[in-house]
C-alpha cells in the first residue's frame, strides 16, 4: 500500500462492487458500519470483502465505542479507521499504530474543523488525515451536498494536519473542478457514483476515477514545469 491514497470510493456493500471498483483503479474503498446509513454493510459481507478483494479498506464508524471498532477490526481487515461522528480528539489516540481518518462536517466555514484539529495537535493525538464533508443535520455523509470549494481553498493553509481529503457531493461531473480548485490530497465519494444507495454504478465509478486522475495529472505536470523553470532559469 502506498503512503497515502488519492481516490476513495465509500459506501461499498457487496463483494462484486468491491472487486469491480478495485479493478477500475480506486485506491481504497470504504465500508460503512453505521446502522443508520443505507450503506451500512453487515459484518459477514465486510469480512468476505476483506478476504477476497486486495483493495485497502477504510472502516467508517459513527459514534461507535473503541471496543466496538476493535471488534470489527478483529474480523475485518481495516487499513484505515474513519471516525465520522462527534468523537472527541482523545479517541483518536485510542488506536495506536492505526491510520485514523477524522471526518469533519463543515457549515459556512471551516473554523470548527480547524479548531478541532488544533485541539488534536495540542493533545498529541493528530489523525492521519482529515476528511472535509458537507454538513447536514442528523446525517453523517453520503448526502450529496457540496462543500464550498472556494472556502476550502482559502482555508487550506490553516488546517493543522498534513493530509486533507475532500468529500461532499463529489461526482464524475465535478470532481475535476473540485481538485483543481481545492488541491486536496485525496477525494472521497459515495452517492456520486451510485445507481441507488449502496449500489455502485461501475460506469460512473470509472468516469469519476478518470476525471480525478486527469485533474491531478494536470496539477502534477504544472508543478513539474514550475520546478524545472526554477531549477534551470533562462
Per-residue pLDDT in tens (0 to 9) along the chain, 234 residues? 447 899 999 999 999 999 999 999 999 999 999 999 999 999 999 999 999 999 999 999 999 999 999 999 999 999 999 999 999 999 999 998 789 999 998 887 889 999 999 999 999 999 999 999 987 666 656 566 888 899 999 988 888 778 999 999 999 999 999 999 999 999 999 999 999 988 999 999 999 999 999 999 999 888 787 776 666 555
- Could you give all domains of the chain from N- to C-terminal order, each with its CATH number? 7-231 (3.20.20.70)
For this structure, is 109 an active site residue? no
Catalytic residue among 27, 106, 120, 133: 133
Measured distance CA(19)–CA(8) in Å, rounded: 14
Which DSSP string do the residues of 175-203 spell out, in sequence order? HHHHHHHH--SEEEESGGGEEETTEE-HH
pLDDT in tens, 53-72: 999 999 999 999 999 999 99
CA nearest 209: which of 40, 27, 18, 20? Answer: 27
For this structure, is 133 an active site residue? yes
Catalytic residue among 10, 53, 120, 125: 10
- Which residues are CB-neighbours of 84 under 8 A, at least 6 positions away? 34, 60, 61, 62, 103, 131, 133, 140, 141
pLDDT in tens, 163-208: 999 999 999 999 999 999 999 999 999 999 999 988 999 999 999 9
Amino acid at each position: 500500500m502506498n503512503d497515502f491514497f488519492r481516490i476513495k470510493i465509500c459506501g461499498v456493500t457487496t463483494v462484486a462492487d468491491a472487486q469491480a471498483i478495485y479493478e477500475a483503479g480506486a485506491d481504497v474503498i470504504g465500508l460503512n458500519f453505521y446502522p443508520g446509513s443505507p450503506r451500512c454493510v453487515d459484518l459477514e459481507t465486510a469480512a468476505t470483502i476483506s478476504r477476497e478483494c486486495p483493495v485497502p479498506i477504510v472502516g467508517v464508524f459513527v459514534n461507535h465505542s473503541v471496543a466496538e471498532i476493535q471488534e470489527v477490526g478483529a474480523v475485518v481487515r481495516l487499513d484505515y479507521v474513519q471516525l465520522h461522528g462527534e468523537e472527541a480528539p482523545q479517541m483518536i489516540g485510542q488506536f495506536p499504530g492505526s491510520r485514523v481518518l477524522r471526518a469533519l462536517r463543515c457549515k459556512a466555514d471551516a473554523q470548527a474543523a480547524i479548531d478541532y484539529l488544533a485541539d488534536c495537535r495540542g493533545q498529541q493525538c493528530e489523525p492521519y488525515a482529515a476528511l472535509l464533508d458537507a454538513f447536514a443535520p442528523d446525517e453523517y455523509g453520503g448526502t450529496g451536498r457540496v462543500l464550498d470549494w472556494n472556502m476550502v481553498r482559502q482555508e487550506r493553509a490553516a488546517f493543522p494536519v498534513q493530509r486533507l481529503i475532500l468529500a461532499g457531493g463529489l461526482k464524475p461531473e465535478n470532481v475535476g473542478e473540485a481538485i483543481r480548485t481545492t488541491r486536496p490530497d485525496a477525494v472521497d465519494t459515495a452517492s456520486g457514483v451510485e445507481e441507488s444507495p449502496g449500489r455502485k454504478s461501475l460506469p460512473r465509478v470509472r468516469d469519476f476515477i478518470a476525471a480525478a486522475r486527469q485533474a491531478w495529472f494536470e496539477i502534477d505536470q504544472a508543478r513539474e514545469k514550475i520546478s524545472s523553470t526554477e531549477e534551470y532559469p533562462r
